Chains A and B, each alone.
Chain A
Amino acid sequence: MHQRPPIWRNVAVLKWLAQFAVLFTVLGLFWLLASEAQENLQRRGIPAGYNWLSGPANFQLGEGIQTVDSPERRLTMSRALWVGMVNTLRVAAIGIVLSTILGVFIGVSRLSKNFIANRFASAFVETMRNIPLLVQILFWFVILGSLAPLAADSGPIPGWLIVSQKGISIPRVFLADGFYQFVAMLVVFAVPLWFIRRTLKRRQDDLGGNQRVTSTTVAYLSVSTLVAWFLNPVMGFLGGVLDSVATAWNAIPAQIIRGLFGVLIIWFAGARIRSLLNSRRTPVGFAKLTDNDWFQMLFTAFAAGVAALVVVRFRPGITTWFVESVGNFWSFLGAKFGDGRGAQPIDAMLPTLTEGRFINISNTGLTMSVFFASLLFGLVFYTSSYIAEVVRGGILAVPRGQSEAALALGFTRGQMLRKVVLPQAFRVIMPPLGNQYLNITKNTSLGIAVGFSEIVQVGQTVYNKNSQTLAVFSIYIAFFLLCSLSISAVVNTINRRLAIVER
């Protein structure tokens, strides 16, 4: 039996105490600052809290899913902020996709032995990453603003591609009435495909040669897409099914769900504690627990208890909200199906003009405002230069011996890239690529410089109106934290899955 150190010299105890001390100090400081600010605001006659969120916005937004207040659709403060968030997410998502495509292309070109591709890519990277992002965004804004005004015959291709002061518009492909029925039918067709693929893959493993796994899949998918395109109204009966699911869900008393939540939280904590105990089990059968383990288990149990109490006892609204949302989701899905619905899953529309402006978003082509476009172009060109370097570095990080070994086995260049170089390069590229995605998301806030209605710009309008600076900033922080942490979570999961076993 080894001797336990006294508690004031026990590293595990001290470590945890220090962590708690830091945590409480930080929280305390925040609380102090917040209450101080709150007090000041109150002295100036500005009410504390978030009650203003449900009040009317009394201002218009530049663009987004809702821009003006109307009797049938009220524009509240919270709704206005939500519109801003959707705009931010829209730029971020499109920016991430485009800058990845452009970045990979430029990065690979920079490695190419082709003189022109190589020099062009180098020049692109060196220019784009050496000019501040804000300058680039403003540059695009000035360029786009100096274009010709919008007219009935605006080009370059009138009616198809319109580039003007008011923005850029191209034909839009959108989901038509039959889309959900179409998808449901494809899901039904996917089940036999799964079995067919499994059988073919087994045959490939057993017999070798070429058992046509890919070509069969492609053929099957094309045929089933064609069938689903025309026969999707058959799936209309799902509307009734989903409606009854919604009714059944709404019939469950909220108390039961609340209780289930409590049980789930406790069960989750129990599972964590059990897995910790299992991981500490030695072959002899004794669980050797350190003080650190005890602290972890206690902390988990405590946190779970608090969470369960909050959900079940103190904030019953959380469960009610959850129950309502899920119910709404089922009826929302149900409304997408119906016997009387048109069969076409996808439709397209050309840009339409009335009185020198693009008409409402739902009735025209895909239109980017100059504000959106200048922010997007700035973000994409700036970030893709960094992504290009990340990609280049990742490919260069794979040792030459790897490609030599693959070539020595008789691989073609394509096989070598696919099987040996890219899988290894991807592991190097992924973490810094995730950083660039975070950067795009955060840099969308520069849209304020050109007056694009993203969350920061909308929030500024809000606090200029009602002086709720603190509350608005807390919303900013929560929103960006949520975005960034979601992206990190995805990237980290991918990294963990891909990690090379070293020992």
Chain B
Amino acid sequence: MSSTKPNDNTGQSPRRNMITCRGVKKWFGDFQALKGVDLDVGEQEVVVVLGPSGSGKSTLIRCINRLEVHQEGIIEVDGVELTNDLRNIEKIRSEVGMVFQLFNLFPHLSVLDNITLGPIWVRKKARVEAEKTAMELLERVGIPEQAAKFPGQLSGGQQQRVAIARALAMEPKIMLFDEPTSALDPEMIAEVLDVMRDLARRGMTMVIVTHEMGFAREVADRLVFMESGEIVEVGTTEQFFSAPREERTKKFLSQIL
């Protein structure tokens, strides 16, 4: 399957494809969560996925690193197709960083150990080197002084920043964000969004599920609007907010803006 299939209504840039989804379908029992999703994400592109709750946004990005298994269709990540091949799955997972709504830090490990666990055990890095990288990342997300603390001792915003650092420590090519600010107090949302903004500036390929419209407008290259398991509309940020094509998109935007 060609990974650069042109798609006239996606407003897609001519960059190399990092993620390719073709006709992805997913059922939970009788309920169909994804009804044939087509999506391309290019290198260094930031794609924000919008939509009401239950529309399949989270399911889609969880399928991209196979935390959920899609039943039909094709997902390719960096040219590797996601199948039941264990080696492919672990390779893709170690190259795709994921940030969760509820942080999911390991509570029994210190902040530093949380960040170095993956590099040491998956990447087989030396501890000294992994810790050096971890400290640099903590510096970057602005909380180097918390390295020795445990997750339970940090605020929500700090925990989410550690979670981002943990994902970055694996040197991923793609970062997936599953509603990273939904569990945070308003004053903590800003500090997390700052870190993500910085990431986008450095050219990270990102897929973000969020409800932060201002942030989406500012950072996204393209916006994807999903409803009941389908992609309703894809467009550049400009066009999406000023001239949405679909009726359903207009309705959603009018409710939310």
Contact = CB atoms under 8 A, between A and B. Distances in A.
Q: Do A and B come from one complex?
A: yes
Interface in A392-409: 399, 401-402, 404-409
Nearest to A211: B126
Nearest to B94: A410
> Dominant SS at the A interface?
helix
Nearest to A207: B126
B246 interface: no
Contact of B124 (A210, A408, A419): A210
Given A405-B100, A501-B152, A410 B67 contact: no
Interface in B65-93: 65, 67, 90-91, 93
B166 A409 contact: yes
Given A401-B104, A409-B117, A500 B152 contact: yes
A420 B107 CA distance: 9
A148 B90 CA distance: 57
Interface string A481-503: 00000000000000000001111
A407 B65 CA distance: 9
B207 to A, nearest CB: 13
Contacts of B108: 423-424, 427, 500
A209 B121 contact: no
Q: Which of A408, A411, A415 has the most CB of B within 10 A?
A: A408
B104 A410 contact: no
A36 B195 CA distance: 78
A410 B129 contact: no
Contacts of B167: 408-409
B107 A407 contact: no
Given A205-B126, A409-B166, A410-B170, A503 B153 contact: yes
Contact of A412 (B65, B90, B104, B124): B90
B122 interface: yes
A94 B149 CA distance: 41
A410 B93 contact: yes
Given A410-B93, A501-B153, A402 B122 contact: no
Contact of B117 (A206, A419, A427): A419
Nearest to B153: A503
Nearest to A421: B106
B39 interface: no
B49 to A, nearest CB: 18
Contacts of B130: 208
B245 interface: no
B126 A404 contact: no
A394 to B, nearest CB: 13
B67 A407 contact: yes
Nearest to A412: B90
Contact of A401 (B102, B153, B166): B102
B248 interface: no
A207 B98 CA distance: 28
A407 B167 CA distance: 12
Given A410-B93, A500-B152, 18 more contacts: A401-B100, A401-B102, A404-B100, A405-B106, A405-B163, A406-B106, A407-B67, A409-B93, A409-B122, A410-B122, A410-B170, A411-B90, A411-B122, A415-B122, A424-B106, A424-B107, A427-B108, A501-B149
Interface of B: 65, 67, 90-91, 93-98, 100, 102, 104-108, 117-118, 120-122, 124-130, 149-150, 152-153, 163, 166-167, 170
30 contacts: A204-B126, A204-B127, A206-B127, A208-B124, A208-B125, A208-B130, A209-B124, A210-B124, A399-B104, A401-B100, A401-B102, A402-B106, A404-B100, A405-B98, A405-B100, A408-B65, A409-B93, A409-B94, A409-B167, A410-B90, A410-B91, A410-B93, A410-B94, A410-B122, A412-B90, A415-B122, A419-B117, A424-B106, A427-B108, A500-B150
